Amino acid sequence: MRDTLTGSRIRERRQISGLKQAQLARQVGISASYLNLIEHNRRRIGGKLLVDIAAALSVEPSVLTQGVEATLIAALREAAADAVGQSAEIDSLDEFAGRFPGWAGVLAQMHRRVVSLERTVETLSDRLTHDPHLAGSMHEVLSTAAAIRSTAAILAEPGELDAEWRDRFHRNLHQDAERLAESSKALVAYLDQSESPDDRQGLPMEEVEAFLDQRGFHLPELEGGEYGDDLVQHGLRSAAARSLIRQVLKQYAQDARAMPLGRLREALQADGLDPLKLAARFSVDLATVLRRLAFLPEDVLPRPAGLAVCDSSGSIILLKHVPGFALPRHGDACPLWPVFSALNRPLVPVHGRVTFLGRSAAEFECFAIAWPQPVSEFGHEPVYRSVMLVVPPGDDKTRSGAEVQLGASCRICPKTDCAARREPSILSEGF
Amino acid sequence: MSRKVLLIEDEPNITEAIRFLLTREGWVVETHAEGGNAVETILAARPDLVILDVMLPGKSGMDVLRELREHADMKALPVLMLTARGQSRDREMAEKAGVSRFMTKPFSNVEVLTAVRDLYAQASRS
C-alpha cells in the first residue's frame, strides 16, 4: 500500500526542528509552495528529494516514510473532530491505534481522502464557474460528446437508414471522434499544467500570483524604493499579466520607500506586530502597513502573512495564500471575511479573529481597511479598495476584534443559519 | 398544418442529428448557428418551438432568451435550452430568463424528442 502520510511526518519533523517551510524548501532546492503541497500529502515524494529532506531534518528517510504512531493518532484525532453526528471515544485513541493499527490506518487514510476530495471539489467548482478557458474547453468536449451520442444512437437504431444519411452520419461520427480526442487531450494538458503551482497559466492574475509566489512575495530589488521594469520583462507570458504586475511592483517600491526594511525590522522587534503603531511610527496610512507586512521576508516578520486585496465590487485583485487561508481566487468568497466587511466602513481599521470552518479549522488574526483610490477631478465619487493582512493568531488578546466563523465558499461551508449564505452547501447534501 | 422548430446551435453535427430526428417526426426544421441576430431570426421565422444552445458566437443563448421574452407575443413560445453547464446557478439563470425546459449536454435523443413533444403539447393546450 502506498504510504500517504510522509508529508505529514515531514511537517511534524520540520516543526520539531523549528524550521520554517521556506527555510527547509531553500535547503533542499524546491519552492515553499511545493513543500507545502508535499506536507499536506498532495504530492508524492521519494528518491533524492526524500533523502535530502531527511538529511535536512537530521532523520533517517525511513522515519519519514514509515512514520511513527503519533502521526496516525493525530490523523485519527482530526477524523474524530470532523465527524458529524458521531462522537468518537477520544480517550481510547491510543489503545485503538495500538490494538488495531491496520484499521486505524484505513480510517486515517479514508479521512485524508475525503479532505483531498473536498479540496478538489472546491478548486474545480471555483474554476469551472469562473475560468473562461476551462469553461470553453468543457463546452467543446461536452458538445462533441453530445453530437457523437446523438449520431451514434441514430446509426444504432434498428431498420434501414437511407444510404445518404448513413454516410453523412458516419462521416460526422469520425470527425467528432477526432475532435473529441484532440479536445480531451488539450483539456487534460491544461489541467495537468494547472496542477503545478509554479506553472499556473490561467488568468493574468494567476500568472501574477505565481510570479510573486516563486519569489516568496519578497523582492530585494525593490527594497531600495525604486521601481525598475527589468523584473517585468522576464517570467511573465501575457501582456495583461505584465501590466498587472507593474502596478503591484510600483506599489511595492512605494511602500518600501515609506517603510524601509531596516527600520521596519527594528520596529517589529520593539513593538511586535501592531499595524496601528507601525502606521504612527512611519507616518503612513494603515493600507500601506498591511501591504508592506505581507511582502516581508520570513526572518523579518515572525508570523507567515497572507494578503488579500479587493476592489469595491468584491473582486479579488491580489491574493497571497498562507497555509489554511483559502479565499477563492475567482469570487464566491465568504462576505464575512474582514477584507469585505471593511468596505462597509471605509477608512475604519477592522480587526477580527477568524475561525475557518474547513477541515483544517485554522484560526487567523485579520487586519483590514478600505481606502479610497486617487481621483482626478472634483465631484467624483471615491472608488475604494480594501486590503486584509492574515496572520496566525498572536499572543496579544487585548486587541479588540470581532470573532468570526466563516468558510471558503457557501458551497462547501458547513455553517448553518448564516445570514451571508447565498446557496446551499453540498456538505449538507451528504457529500 | 406542419409544425416548425427553429434550432439555434453552432455545433453542426448536433444540428444535423437533431434535424434528422425531428424531420422524421414530421417537424419542419430551420437552423441558425449564431447568437448575434438570433432574436431577429426567431421573430422572422415564427416557429412553434425553439431549441437554443447557451454558448453561441455573437451573443449567449441566455441573452437571446431574455431579449426574446421582451416581445409580448414571444412570452409563451416554448424554448428548450441546451447547455454544457448544468450547475444549479445556470439553471436558475435560465429559469429567470424564461426558459421552458433546460437540458444538459450530452443529452440522449430520447430526452430531446420527449422534451420537444411535451413542450409542443403543453403549448397547444394553452
pLDDT, tens only, A187-216:
776 665 554 444 444 577 878 888 888 888
Of B5, B105, B102, B113, the residue nearest B62 (C-alpha):
B102
Q: Name residues whose C-beta falls within 8 Å of residue A152's C-beta, 6 or more positions apart in sequence.
A: A173
Distance CA B17, CA B51 (A): 13
Question: How high is the pLDDT of residue A249?
Answer: 92
Interface residues of chain B, partner chain A, Cβ below 8 Å? 11, 13-14, 16-18, 20-21, 55, 82, 84-85, 87-89, 104-109, 112
What domains lie within chain B, and their CATH numbers? 3-125 (3.40.50.2300)
pLDDT, tens digit (0-9, with 9 covering 90-100), for B98-109: 999 999 888 889
- Angle (CA) A216-A388-A35 rounded to 5° is 30
Question: What's the CA gap between B111 and B3, in Å, rounded?
Answer: 19
Place of cell 453542426: B12
CATH class of A1-67: mainly alpha
ipTM of the complex: 0.84
Chain A, residues 115-134, CB within 8 A of chain B, namely 128-129
User: Can you give the residue ranges of every domain in chain A?
Assistant: 1-67, 68-130, 132-199, 303-429
Q: With an 8 Å Cβ cutoff, is A405 touching chain B?
A: no
Instruction: Identify the bridge partners of residue A416 per DSSP, sorted by sequence position.
Output: none
CATH class (in words) of the domain with range A303-429:
alpha beta
| Chain B environment of A160 (Cβ under 8 Å) | none
Residue A343 has what pLDDT? 95
One-letter amino acid at B84 equals: A
Chain B residue whose CA is closest to A156: B109
A145 touching B, CB under 8 A? yes
In angstroms, the separation between the Cα of residue A359 and the nearest Cα of chain B is 25
Question: What's the CA dihedral at A332, A335, A339, A343 to 10 degrees?
Answer: 110
- The pLDDT tens digits of the residues spanning B16-43 come to 999 999 999 999 999 999 998 999 999 9
Closest CA to B2 of B29, B27, B30: B27
Taking 50 as the pLDDT cut, the residues of chain A under it are 1-2, 195-201, 429-431
Instruction: Tell me if B104 sits within 8 A of B85, measured CB to CB.
Output: yes
pLDDT at A107: 85
Q: Is A163 on the interface with B (CB under 8 A)?
A: no
Q: Which pLDDT score is estimated for A2?
A: 40
A143 and B11 in contact by Cβ < 8 A?
yes
Closest Cβ–Cβ partner in A142, A151, A165 for B105? A142
Q: Is the omega angle on the peptide bond into residue A101 within 30 degrees of 0, that is, cis?
A: no
CB contact at 8 A, A271 and A236? no
List of residues 6+ apart from B71 with CB closer than 8 A: B39, B43
How far, in whole angstroms, is CA B22 from its chain's centroid?
13
| Residue A187 CB partners (closer than 8 Å, separation 6+) | A134, A137, A138, A141
Grid cell of A214 as nine digits:
516563486
Cβ-contact A275, A304 below 8 angstroms: no
A154 interfacial to chain B (CB closer than 8 Å): yes
Q: Nearest residue of A to residue B10 by CA position? A: A143
CA distance A366 to A23: 25
Dig out the grid coordinates for A224 from the structure.
531600495
- Cβ proximity of A368 and A327 under 8 Å: no
**Bridge partner list, B80:** B51, B101
Contact (CB, 8 A) for B47 and B78: no
B120's grid cell: 409542443
Burial (CB count within 10 angstroms: exposed 0-12, middle 13-18, buried 19+), residue A290? buried
Inter-residue contact A367 to A290 (CB < 8 Å): yes
CA gap B6, A371 in Å, rounded:
53
